[in-house]
Amino acid sequence: MLQFSIWKKSLVWGLCALGILLALPNGFYTRVENHNDALESVAKGEVVTPEMQAAVDGWPAWMPNDLVNLGLDLRGGAHLLAEVKVEEVYAARLDGMWPDIRDGLRKQRDVVGTVLRQDGAPDELRIRISKPDQIEAAVAAVRELARPVVSLTGVGSTDIEVRGENGQIIVTMSAAEKIATDDRTMRQSLEIIRRRVDEVGTREPTIQRQGDKRILIQVPGLGSADELKGLIGTTAKLTFHAVLRETSDKNAAPGARNILVPDLHAADRYYILERSPVVTGEDLVDAQPSFDQNGQPAVSFRFNPTGGRKFGQYTADNIGSPFAIVLDNKVISAPVIQSHIAGGSG
């Protein structure tokens, strides 16, 4: 018969007891999960309700509260494979370019004549001029509006391709710009989906890209795929507001015609903004990552003519003041205006 020393027996029993203690929360999964969610809400500075306090008190503070992540097979939930319609993004980009192209050609009216947009495929912009013999001059004028593609694979390329055909100017997105747009759209979609799923307090969701245009979404504990569709299917709301002041008081009174909006990245930071936006996401033609003159990461953006005029006038009148970029009712950034941003792009 094997004999073990007392210290070895004590070590084995101690490890067994520790294992049982660490695994114990999984035997009270729902109670501990509610406890953890309540603690997280308290840490974010949310108002403590009686139900939240009961959830906090529902599990001893000195006990471990880590849980094993139960997948869909054990816990149930919602599974969804979503496809991002990048073709609609292409069409929206080209629609947004039309006002700039129209204005550029109007400056050459004496040469190219009148300008009229024609019906065409969703992935192209067709423009007819009244002086078809000047089609090359018109094509050259539109090509001057092309912008360089900001991506590692698009170095040396521009965002549009322009050609003349049967008295019409045909504008399409370049292959390099489509690749950059696909990648940018997928990353933005992933970020928006993660943010919306996190807002419902779901533990350990799986959100990952699959292929070129699809996103796999698995959310344990969520009722159904229809509920998940409703959660992620609403259109993201982007607005730009004047900042009146910053505060750490979540109950601060914003005042008439103002709103109190939380910061996305800091739980104890809030902004009092003017309710009416300076411009909205509907005025935004394009936004993509880039670098400033010092080589630091920045965001390059472009508004349509209407939004560009409003934004340009606002920046001219408010140099040195912050403005807030608000997405889904949360401030994602509040940069200070350093100079007049003219032309609707920066």
Please say whether the beta carbons of 138 and 170 come within 8 A.
no
Residue 263: what are its φ and ψ, rounded to 5°? -80, 140
Check whether residue 271 and residue 306 sit in a common domain: yes
End-to-end CA gap in the chain: 81
320 in the Ramachandran plot: left (φ > 0), alpha (ψ -120 to 50) or beta? Answer: left
Check whether residue 165 and residue 192 sit in a common domain: no
The answer to the question of residue 75 being in a domain is no
Cα–Cα dist 242/258, whole Å? 10
| 297-303 and 323-327 strand pairing | unpaired
Check whether residue 96 and residue 35 sit in a common domain: no
- pLDDT tens across the length of the chain (346 residues): 567 788 888 888 889 988 888 888 888 877 887 888 788 777 777 777 888 888 888 888 888 888 776 666 566 677 788 888 888 888 877 887 887 888 888 888 888 888 888 888 888 889 898 888 888 988 888 888 888 877 666 567 888 888 888 888 899 888 888 888 888 888 888 888 887 787 766 667 888 898 888 888 888 776 677 777 777 776 667 888 889 989 888 888 888 888 999 988 888 889 999 888 888 777 776 666 555 566 655 556 777 777 778 888 888 888 888 888 888 888 888 888 888 877 656 6
Find the domain containing 217 and state its range.
80-84+180-232
Q: Nearest-CA neighbor of 209 among 223, 193, 233? A: 193
Contacting residues for 13 by C-beta, under 8 A, at least 6 apart: none
Number of residues in the chain: 346
Owner of token pair 């953890």: 36
Please say whether the beta carbons of 238 and 326 come within 8 A.
yes
3-state SS class at 306? helix
The answer to the question of residue 339 being in a domain is no
Distances (CA, A) of 184 to 32, 176, 179: 38, 12, 9
Amino acid at 183: D
Check whether residue 209 and residue 243 sit in a common domain: no
Provide the number of structural domains found in the chain. Answer: 4
The answer to the question of residue 201 being in a domain is yes
Distances (CA, A) of 316 to 98, 243, 272, 346: 26, 15, 21, 13
Cα–Cα dist 93/287, whole Å? 11
Check whether residue 56 and residue 93 sit in a common domain: no
